[in-house]
Structures are given as C-alpha cells and as structure tokens.
Amino acid sequence: MGSESGAGKSTVCMGILAQLLESGLAPSQLAYIKPVTQCIAKQNVALFCEQTRIPYCDLGVLVFRKGFSRDFIDGLSKRSEELMADILDSILGLGKDKEVVIIDGVGDPSTGSIAGASNVDVALSLPCNVIFVGKPGIGAALDNTVLCVSFMQLKGLKNIGVIYNKIPLSTFAGIKKYITKRLPELLPKITLLGFIGDDPVFEAWLKKNASKEMAQWLSSYVNERTLLYDWLGLKNQNHPSKTQC
C-alpha cells in the first residue's frame, strides 16, 4: 500500500523481486500480482517479470474504471463478497506452490473501501506482511503515515513495515535523520524498513535486464537481510519459508 497513487509501490515491488532472485530463489518460486488496479497501462514491474520469467498478473480481476462507484452503489456490479472472492482466488491461484507472492496494492490503504475490497480488506484476508510506501518529506510525510497506518491498525493489521520513497537526494540525509527519530515515537508498533532516493537509474537497468544491479540498488537503500530474512521471515538463502508480502 502507499500514501497515494504514484507513491512508488511498483518500484518497491520490482526491487524486492530482484533481491529475492539474487538471494537464490528461482523465478518459478516467485509471483507478482496486482489484483486491483485503476491503471491498465503496463508498468515497469510487469516488464521486469517478463524479462526474468517471474509468473505475474498486472491487470487484476477488479479494475476501478470510470463510473464503477455509481454502478456498485446502484447494484449494477458484483457485491463485496463476490469481488473479494474473485480477488483472493486470483492471488491464491497465481501463488500456488510459490515461496513468495508480492501483492501490489492500489492507491492508499482505504482505496476500494466503497466496494468492501480495499487494500486493507485484502491484506486482512491473507497471512501477509504489509509494506506501506510513504511520501517524501518530513512533516507532511509523517502526518500522512500516521493517518494511513492508524487506519490500518484500527482495522486489525499488525505486521506493518514502512519504506519512504522518491526522496530528493539533496535532502536525503536530513529527511532520514528526522523521520528515523520521530516515527518510532508516533507509531511504536511498526517497522521502519528504509528510505529510497529519487534515483531513476533502475529504469536503465530494466532496459538491460540487469536484475543483479537492480537488487544492489535497492539494497543500498533497504537492507536486504533486514527486509528478506528478519522481517519477511525467509529462513535462509537455500531454504526459505513460505510467506507473502
């Protein structure tokens, strides 16, 4: 989930997939899915999955097209229970016999609430860890994180990690310093996983199918061992335990 649409969730997903490949997992052991979406254009993460042969589904069973909200309220679409069943079936179907499934959310934690199929609803239906991708900055970024994470916790989510993305490199050190100091005081039960600079270099690596470089790029911002083994719960490089993100 993210602070808003365009927070960089798919970039984080792509980096984690690259890390998982470099940790020793085979493409066939992984899967990526975006079960609910507002955008039907192919994203970089889908191209990455094609290049690395990771099973994926980037256009899910529920698309929030123009007029969807009106149709749902008027009873012209599937009801919440049916929508959630379709979403979960798509995730579990693609994720069968996989070690790690990366589930890419849509918008902020409450997106989809109108239909009873929000990011939080999906997460609560699965044995998963949640990564919240926060916006850059200090005051506004922390305010937004508190708002979104408090909602997630109110709904019952517990295992929440936070990664701040698209941070200008010129202010990176200061933002990291002050958020690292204040966030644990505001939200003591979440895990601060790291900060990612606004660095478009991964796009060049995507064109070159450079999974190793992409993994190293993410690891320079988000510690691989902390993310994959301490937080996601992979046992080791050769014998990972089944988990979802």
Sign of CA dihedral 203, 204, 206, 212: negative
- 79 belongs to a structural domain: yes
- 49 belongs to a structural domain: yes
- The pLDDT tens digits for 42-62 are 888 898 999 999 999 998 899
Mean pLDDT throughout 207-221? 80
- 92 belongs to a structural domain: yes
- 41 belongs to a structural domain: yes
pLDDT at 10 over 90: no
Query: Rounded distance, CA 30 to CA 192, Å?
Result: 24
- 204 belongs to a structural domain: yes
The range of the structural domain enclosing residue 151 comes to: 9-244
Q: How many domains does the chain have?
A: 1
CATH code for position 207: 3.40.50.300
- 3 belongs to a structural domain: no
pLDDT at 8 over 50: yes
- The pLDDT tens digits for 115-140 are 999 999 999 999 999 999 999 999 99
- The pLDDT tens digits for 162-196 are 999 999 999 999 999 999 999 999 999 999 999 99
Tell me the DSSP string of the chain: -BSSTTSSHHHHHHHHHHHHHHTT--GGGEEEE--EES--SPPHHHHHHHHHT--EESS-SEE--TTHHHHHHTT-S--HHHHHHHHHHHHHHHHTT-SEEEE---SSTTTTGGGT--HHHHHHTSSB-EEEEEPSSSHHHHHHHHHHHHHHHHHT---EEEEEEEE-GGGHHHHHHHHHHHHHHH-TTSEEEEEEE--THHHHHHHTT-HHHHHHHHHTTS-HIIIIIIIS----SSSPPPEE-
- 4 belongs to a structural domain: no
- 179 belongs to a structural domain: yes
